Structure 1
Amino acid sequence: MAEKTTDFAPLAFPRDSAKPVMTLSKAGHVFTLTMTSPPDNRFNPTFVKSMNEALDIVEDWALKSHRGEPCALITTSSSDKFYSNGLDVMYLFKNPDTWFISDQYLQLLKRVLLFPVITVAALNGHTFAGGLLFALCHDYRILRTDKGLLSLNEIDLPSSLHPGMAWIARAKLPPTTVHPLIFEPKRYGGQAAVDAGLVDAIAPADQLLAVARKWADQGAPKVARAGPIVSELKLGTYADVVEKLDIRMEIDVRKFMKPKM
């Protein structure tokens, strides 16, 4: 199918801020969302709101304004060290927002898990805790060969896992990976991450986005044919995970973590 869509220069989010935390660009039929929040792309209300605004644009393009055309999404980071280090723990200590994790962060994970286009996470650096859970909600993950460790390090924080978080790991990873990932916690990088089922491929830093683009290119035509069926298939596949992610519970990290992050 010939591409009828146009590329566009990066849009910055939040749209009304002098300090954007991410950008969204488009080349051909592939959108690229680049997280730019220093130092390590942590999830807080501004970050989540910005990501939802960016995802709104991609979803509208795929299902409304350009329905019937190929479409895919790559997420990555502008940092040379981190893809994402997870939840913004200092925000959670400074603000008594005990519903943020359930009402905003977990709902974002659900949205990415069920997103109506093929999604590829280009992991250009360390991907820990809530950042790894976010990456696992993508359809595919490509890891930089020479740098970047993956871990669910909640036991060292220490922090519990909401049932939805645990079920993401259970649904996306082999049982032989889940236990050492959570309880050692083992850190995986390079080929070991492929062997453990955490990522689908590895690539040198200068080829990471190109390889991610190949995976996105393979999935984009499926969106043109299937449209909203893509999301329906994901829901059918991950119904148990969605049910757990929708468990609304108050979480106060100050009760079990120290403000040293």
Structure 2
Amino acid sequence: MRATSKMLKPKSSHCPQLGPFQLMSSPLRRGSLWLYSSSISEGERCAVWRSAGNIFILTLTGPGEHRLNPTLLDAISAALSRVRAESSMSFALITTAEGKFFSNGYDLAWASASGVFLDRSKLMSSKLRSLVADLISLPMPTIAAISGHCSAAAAIIALSHDYVLMRNDRGFIYMPELDIGIKIPDWWFVALIRSKIGAPRSQRELMLRAAKLTAHDALNWGIIDSAHNSTEETVRAAIRLGEELVGRKWDGHVYAQIRMRMLADVFDKVGCDESVGEVSHTRTRL
């Protein structure tokens, strides 16, 4: 499984007209640069635009589930590396997706395909840890615009952003470990959940009830920052928030240093080589 990626010369007139890019207001769309594109599978890509308003928009394109396998995780990490390289002043990052799914979590079909499930699961876990470390250390504010179902490892990616916005008309946040028989040791994402979701009742609802939370539920439980009526409204709200944050003209490296100090427990743990836990194969769906 190999991603085909390319760094594209900034030519705003040749930007592909993909969902969230079309939702950008005219001033933002004018002068926007298509910076990065990586082919994940037929009809699906990981792409990044830089708007005239100094907002990077990282989008998982296509109608699929955006399952997190090494190909997609590597593509997102490469996109963040390009974003980091371009961030010479005050910027913000928005991460979103097209279709019904923000992401449906790990690609368990890929992990199970060759009979080495545990090894492949450890590989995905290692790449996810690196991706979370990249987000925590990124020198700019980060915003997740959840556009559909957001399950398991995808929820961890969303929560690794500074702000989480979600559409209210479709989709849910779901941590399915209880439902699919995965034992979670005291590994790094437990520290992340504790850092991002303060109320023990909210942690219990998400982790110990495997509740499928709509945006309305997640907002009430303090898991997300705002809920919106459609993908379009969610992305527009993320852009408005990004513009506000960029307008503060903060030093991105100072911002990242403060974030890393605030999430020091998480940042320290993502560098550890931890087990992914024992997995029952009675059910392999998310």
| Length-normalised TM-score, structure 1 | 0.87
Instruction: Pick from 121, 135, 155 the counterpart of residue 158 of structure 2.
Output: 135
Cross-structure match for 2:267: 242
Instruction: Pick from 139, 146, 149 the counterpart of residue 123 of structure 1.
Output: 146
1:39 aligns with 2:52: no
Instruction: Pick from 189, 213, 225 the counterpart of residue 188 of structure 1.
Output: 213
What is the CA–CA distance in structure 2 between the aligned matches of 1:197 and 1:252, rounded to whole Å? 28
What is the CA–CA distance in structure 2 between the aligned matches of 1:12 and 1:117, rounded to whole Å? 21
* Residue identity opposite 1:239 in structure 2: A
Map 1:1-261 onto structure 2 (within 5 A).
6-9=31-34, 11-14=36-39, 20-28=44-52, 29-36=54-61, 39-62=64-87, 67-68=88-89, 70-79=90-99, 81-95=100-114, 96=116, 97-98=119-120, 99-161=122-184, 163-173=187-197, 174-205=199-230, 206-222=232-248, 224-251=249-276, 255-258=279-282, 260-261=284-285
Q: Which range moved further: 165-174 or 109-118?
A: 109-118
What is the CA–CA distance in structure 2 between the aligned matches of 1:102 and 1:201, rounded to whole Å? 29
Q: Percent identity?
A: 23
Structure 1 residue 200 displacement after superposition: 0.5
Distance 1:184 1:71, change over 3 A: same
Distance 1:106 1:246, change over 3 A: same
Structure 1 residue 19 displacement after superposition: 5.5
What is the CA–CA distance in structure 1 between the aligned matches of 2:201 and 2:137, rounded to whole Å? 25
Matched residues, number: 249
The higher relative CO (CA closer than 8 Å, separation ≥ 6) is in 1
* Residue identity opposite 1:218 in structure 2: E
What is the CA–CA distance in structure 2 between the aligned matches of 1:59 and 1:110, rounded to whole Å? 13
Structure 1 residue 256 displacement after superposition: 2.3
Structure 1 residue 258 displacement after superposition: 3.7
Structure 1 residue 49 displacement after superposition: 1.1
Distance 1:149 1:44, change over 3 A: same
**Secondary structure of 2:212's match?**
coil
What is the CA–CA distance in structure 1 between the aligned matches of 2:111 and 2:169, rounded to whole Å? 32
Structure 1 residue 114 displacement after superposition: 2.7
Structure 1 residue 202 displacement after superposition: 1.0
Structure 1 residue 260 displacement after superposition: 3.7
**Secondary structure of 1:40's match?**
coil
Does the 8 A contact of 1:86 with 1:129 survive in 2?
yes
**Secondary structure of 1:186's match?**
coil
CA RMSD of aligned residues (A): 2.3
Unpaired runs of 5+ in structure 2? 1-27
Runs of 4+ in 1 over 4 A off after TM superposition: 17-20
Structure 1 residue 252 displacement after superposition: 7.2
What is the CA–CA distance in structure 2 between the aligned matches of 1:38 and 1:94, rounded to whole Å? 23
Does the 8 A contact of 2:181 with 2:283 survive in 1?
no
Does the 8 A contact of 2:180 with 2:283 survive in 1?
no
Per-residue CA distance 1:203-258 (angstroms, 9 max, x = gap): 12131111011111122245x432311211111000111222222034476x4234
**Secondary structure of 2:236's match?**
helix
Unpaired runs of 5+ in structure 1? none
